[in-house]
Amino acid sequence: MGSLMTQLPIRCTSPVNYGHISMKLISINNSAHMKIYTLFFFMVLTRVSNLYAQEERKDFKPFYDQYQVKGTFVLYDQKNDRYLYYNKEASNKSYLPASTFKICNSLIALETAVLKDEYEILKWDKEQRRVPEWNADTDMKQAFKNSTVWFYQDVAKKIGEERMKYWLHKLKYGNEDASGGINGFWLWGGLRITPMQQIDFLRRLAGNALPLSQRTMDIVKGIMISKDRDGFVTRGKTGAGKQDGAYLGWYVGYVTTKDNVFYFANFIQTESRTDDFESSRIEITNRILEKLGVFNK
């Protein structure tokens, strides 16, 4: 008697197609590889695109050397969505905003109705100050132009500490720190802002993307105008102060051309202040903008 296996016939009613399984596995494997290759391609493309959208210029150094200052410069070309830097590493470091905060202070003053418009006059306290233009009754338009410190200190006091903190946070201005006294937290207190944050704030203002009324933004954009001719409008604000034993200076703003907007933030610093320190903030910026042909576009 043979074994059970030899006695019972074995029939395969569903034959296994190993070739089909093998081809399916290969197909799945190829599909996975394709996804990886596609992901890698887009990662490389993104990296190249980011590199193309940024440029660092070392040839701006002589402009700073001429005035014996160190600094950083950021330009954003809105039409081409492109950043240009000098000393990029310093563009993300935080500094006191000094009088560049007058842009933000003006916005908050108008939005809270502390000032009804740019022509409301605040009375001078009769204290003699170093800048002759500061020794008079002043409205916001003139105070912005002359960078009148006492005017904006009074405005900040009228806004008050709690409302100021609320608006710094709502506007996402710098590190949003109002410590150090309501009358000077932007001059000697805890408020800090990077050149890149200056650019971001200006872009949101120019693009009407701040959580403010259109009227408020339009008024401030109006008082920021320093030059308007030949199809080019320059808006900006300077600032100067002292931080960690060094003198610092700012010039931030934007140039509107016929078909583009160029945002700029120039920051300078020195341990030994010269007579042309304050003028160098604007002079360096203008020479860079001229070199880049901004006023020819």
User: What residues have CB less than 8 Å from 176, skipping those under 6 apart?
Assistant: 165, 168, 169, 191
- Tokens representing 272 are 């030994």
Q: Give pLDDT tens digits for 87-119.
A: 999 999 999 999 999 999 999 999 999 999 999
Among 236, 238, 247, CA closest to 273: 247
How far apart CA 148 and CA 158 sit, in angstroms, is: 16
Task: Say what the pLDDT of residue 8 is.
Answer: 42
Read off the pLDDT band of 10 (50, 70, 90).
very low
pLDDT at 15 over 60: no
Burial 120-137 (b: 16+ CB within 10 A, else e): eebebeeeeeeeeebbee
Using CA atoms, how far apart are residues 83 and 195, in angstroms rounded to an integer?
12
More reliable by pLDDT, 2 or 64? 64
Q: Tokens 């809105």 sit at which residue? A: 78
Mean pLDDT of 166-172: 98
pLDDT value at position 166? 98
Phi-psi category of residue 68: left, alpha or beta, with phi > 0 → left and psi -120 to 50 → alpha = left
Q: E strands within the chain?
A: 54-56, 70-77, 82-86, 121-122, 138-139, 225-229, 232-243, 246-256, 261-270
Provide the CB-side half-sphere exposure for 235 (13 A, CA): 21
Could you tell me the residue ranges of all domains in the chain? 13-48, 56-296
Q: Which of 99, 106, 147, 280 is catalytic?
A: 99
Place of tokens 């193309």: 52
- Among 31, 242, 185, 213, which residue's Cα sits nearest to residue 109? 213
Question: Which has more pLDDT, 296 or 60?
Answer: 60
pLDDT given at position 296: 84
Instruction: Give me the pLDDT at residue 36, please.
Output: 65
Whether 31 is catalytic is no
**Does pLDDT of 31 surpass 90?**
no
| Pick from 3-12, 111-120, 156-165, 219-228: least confident | 3-12
Fold classification of 56-296 is: Beta-lactamase (3.40.710)
Q: Which residue, chain included where needed, has tokens 């008697």? A: 1
All residues at 6 or more sequence positions from 81 whose CB lies less than 8 Å from its CB, including other chains: 53
Q: Which residues contact 16 (CB under 8 A, 6 or more apart)?
A: none
Q: What is the pLDDT of residue 6?
A: 42
Convert the pLDDT of each residue in 202-228 to its tens digit: 999 999 999 999 999 999 999 999 999
* Residue ranges of E strands in 91-203: 121-122, 138-139
